[in-house]
Each structure stands twice: as structure tokens, then as C-alpha cells.
Amino acid sequence: MNLKEQLTAKAEFIGDLKLEVENGDEQAAEQLAEAMEEAKSLKARIDDAEQAEELLKSISTTSYNHVDADETKSATLGEFAAKNIDFSAMREGASKSAGTGFGFKANTDAHTSVGIEYLDQNVVDAIPRDLVFRNLFGSETISGTSLKYFELGVTESAPASVAENAQKPQFHIPYTPKTVSLQKIAGWYWETDELIEDNAFLKSSIDNRGLFELDKAVESYLATTLLATSGIQTLSPAGSALAADDVFKAMMNVKSATNYDADAIVINPADYQALRLAKDSNLQYYGGGYFYAPYGNGGTQQQPNLWGINTVVTTAVNAGTVLVGAFRPGASVVTKSGEGVRVEVVTGDHDDRTNNRVTVIVEERLALATRLPAACVKIA
């Protein structure tokens, strides 16, 4: 029952109580006073809601899609956009685009604006996408568009035991100031305009095509940026091809240079395949065969980790290149505070209208700050 229906029912109840009061019922008089106060409260709430609606209409000539708090709790950004982007204004020609926007809002705070923008923080946090490489790094936000940080070098000398009246040893932690700027990773693609009428199709399009391709580009950007960072360690394979021993040596190089334990290995599918299919002289797979582990000792795994640490198999690194590192303490993915992934659906282009299609734009701004380059080893 909405507020107006509640007020109508309350008015009928008040009418009945008045009749009882006229007949001398003292208890009904008390109930009447309480009912009158409740009616006033309901009327005030209705007036507030109507004033808010009028205010929204006065801000813009576009039509708005009201979002209930419970409706904004979507599992993916595609589902959120499909449920909450208001396409009615686009169909009526009142607006050229609709998007999820950049700003974060609390998951109980429905947000509307002239640009028909919506974004829910819970939605962004819950995106079940394949950010396997990105998740290895730390994360932080900045209020500006660039970050100045200090890149740590190898500590010179070290504290030591000191005899009485002896001079204490000096040690030095060198650092170099660095600056990174947020980079926009973006792209667009066409979809049929039927998605305007089919929310399930729109959700699928954004999650399974648009955001998937954006993630691939972000992963590639992070890998390329890290590999180009001055100061990361390099290791050449001992033989003509990558061996598991080379990966272990890289892990120990991370430990020796930084005293951090390597927390992940990033490897191309082709290189991982060579290691995964390696056999001993009895033709037993080192990592377990397609039915059993070596010599029937336990079950098999499709993609077991190398040397017991998180192994990320991804095309973000090229075949012939493997990254081993303490990624989380060594570097951070930097984003702008209050800004997330943006999805925009545009129908304003003449060719789009005449070809019965819409343009979907996906983008995100981020940067990689590598504070401890020696925490990463490139095997090439």
C-alpha cells in the first residue's frame, strides 16, 4: 500500500471515529487524536515526495527513470545499466546518450542527473570479470589526475651491532621521485537498437562483450607498463627454452633483492602448456596426467600452480616472457577517487539511426605506480 492509499484508509478510519465520539465514546476520542496526528504525518510525507518530483522536472526536460534502493543492487554493471539506464528520453529525442556515469553512489542512494547517469558502488565492487592480472597489485585512489611517488632502490649498508663508545654505522635507503598520470583505456562498438527494448540482451552485451574486451585491454596495458619499467630484474633461461628451474630462480631473485616472497607468476598459455605437458623418462606428466597425478598418486588438476604460488595464465604477456614478482607490495593500480568504469549508450549519430543501431562506449582511467621495481623479475 503506497502513501496515498494509506492516507485514504486513515481518513475513512477517522470518519468512523468521529461518529463514535459524537455518540459519547471517550476511548474513541483518544484514538481520534492519534489518528489525526498519523494522518498529518502521512500528508507531510506525500507533500515532500511531490515537491521532490517537481524539482527533478524543473532541473531538466529529459525524463527520468526512478531507481528503488533494492533495484540498484545488481550483480554486474551490465545488469545495472540494463535495469536503470532510462532509454525513454533517447527514444523521444530528448537526449543523445545515456550512461552509468563515473561517480560512486551508496547502494541505497538512487542518483539522477541531466545526463541520465547512474552508478552504484556495490555494482562496481561486484563485477565478476576476469581481472586476474590486475588483482595481483595493490590498489589506491587519488583526488587528482596524476600521482607523484617515491621509487625505492636497494638499501645501502645496514644496521649492525655496535661496541660501547663505537660509532654507529650509517645506512641509506635511496629513493627516486616518479610521476604517473591516469591513462584512459576506452573503446566502442555497435549493437542493434533492439537492445533498447531488451534489457537481458543489453546486460549480456555489456558484460560479455564490452566489459570483457575492456578488461583485456586493461590487463595488456598493465603488463606492458610493468615490463617497460626501469629497474625490474631480468633473467635469461639457462637452456634454449623456459624451464621450471628458471621460474624458481626468479622467485629467489625477488627474495634476494627485496626480502619479499614472490606472490605470483604471470605466464602466457603457450609457455604454461610447455611446462604442463613436460614428462619424465617414464612418460609420466610432472604436473599430473589427464586422469591421475604422476604414478597414480592422487588426482589431477587442470592448471596447477607452479612451485605452489599463484600462477596466472594470461595472454596479457607474450609467449616467451614470464613475470615473477611480489606484485602486491611492489606496485599499485591507481584510479581516481569517486570514478569507476563508465558505460555509455549513444544513439545521437545520424548513421546509427538510419542503420538501426546504437553505439556502446566503455572506458576506465587508471595508472600503474611501481614503487619497488626489483620486486619483479622478467624471464625472457
For residue range 198-210, list pLDDT tens digits in order: 666 667 777 777 8
Eight-state DSSP code of residue 205 = H
Q: Is the pLDDT of residue 246 over 90?
A: yes
Q: Which of 57, 75, 76, 58 is nearest to 66 (CA)?
A: 57
Question: Is the full-model pTM beyond 0.75?
Answer: no
| 138-142 and 331-336 beta bridge pairing | parallel
**What pLDDT score was predicted for residue 23?**
79
* Amino acid code (one letter) for 153: G
**What pLDDT score was predicted for residue 95?**
41
The b/e string for 201-231 (b: 16+ C-beta within 10 A; e otherwise) is: ebbbbbbeebbeebbebbbbbbbebbeebee
Mean predicted confidence (pLDDT) in 323-347: 87
Look over the chain and give the mean of its residue pLDDT values, rounded to a whole number.
77
**What pLDDT score was predicted for residue 107?**
36
Q: Which of 151, 156, 182 is nearest to 170 (CA)?
A: 156
Mean predicted confidence (pLDDT) in 347-353: 68
Where residue 9 falls among pLDDT bands split at 50, 70, 90? confident
* β-bridge partners, 333: 139, 368
Mean predicted confidence (pLDDT) in 241-267: 94
pLDDT digits over 131-186, tens only? 688 999 998 888 888 988 888 777 778 898 999 989 998 888 888 888 999 999 99
If one counts every other C-beta atom within 10 angstroms of the C-beta of residue 131, the result is 14
Mean predicted confidence (pLDDT) in 289-293: 83
Rounded to 10 deg, the angle between the 3-22 and 26-59 helix axes is 150
Which range is least confidently modeled, 87-96, 160-169, 259-268, 371-380?
Answer: 87-96
C-beta of residue 99 within 8 angstroms of C-beta of residue 345: yes
**What superfamily in CATH does domain 205-379 come from?**
hypothetical protein PF0899 domain (3.30.2320.10)
Domain boundaries, the chain: 1-59, 69-128, 205-379
Q: Which of 131, 379, 128 is nearest to 268 (CA)?
A: 379
Mean predicted confidence (pLDDT) in 246-275: 95
Mean predicted confidence (pLDDT) in 237-241: 82
Q: At residue 206, what are phi and psi to the nearest 5 degrees? A: -70, -50
Q: Is the pLDDT of residue 74 over 70?
A: no
**What pLDDT score was predicted for residue 375?**
95
**What pLDDT score was predicted for residue 350?**
65
Q: Which of 142, 191, 117, 180 is nearest to 342 (CA)?
A: 117
Mean predicted confidence (pLDDT) in 283-311: 85
Which range is least confidently modeled, 88-102, 194-208, 228-242?
Answer: 88-102
308: exposed, middle or buried (C-beta count within 10 Å: 0-12, 13-18, 19+)?
A: exposed
- Grid coordinates representing 144? 587528482
pLDDT digits over 358-378, tens only? 788 889 999 999 999 999 999
**What pLDDT score was predicted for residue 85?**
58
- Calculate the alpha carbon distances from 127 to 141, 201, 379 in Å: 18, 17, 32
Percent of the chain surpassing pLDDT 90? 31
Out of 76-85, 164-173, 278-287, 322-331, the most confident range is: 322-331
Higher per-residue confidence, 327 vs 18? 327
Q: Is the pLDDT of residue 349 over 60?
A: yes
**What pLDDT score was predicted for residue 326?**
96
pLDDT digits over 53-72, tens only? 664 454 443 333 333 444 44
Distance of CA 308 to the CA centre of its chain: 27
Q: Which residue has the cell 533494492?
A: 70
**What pLDDT score was predicted for residue 70?**
46
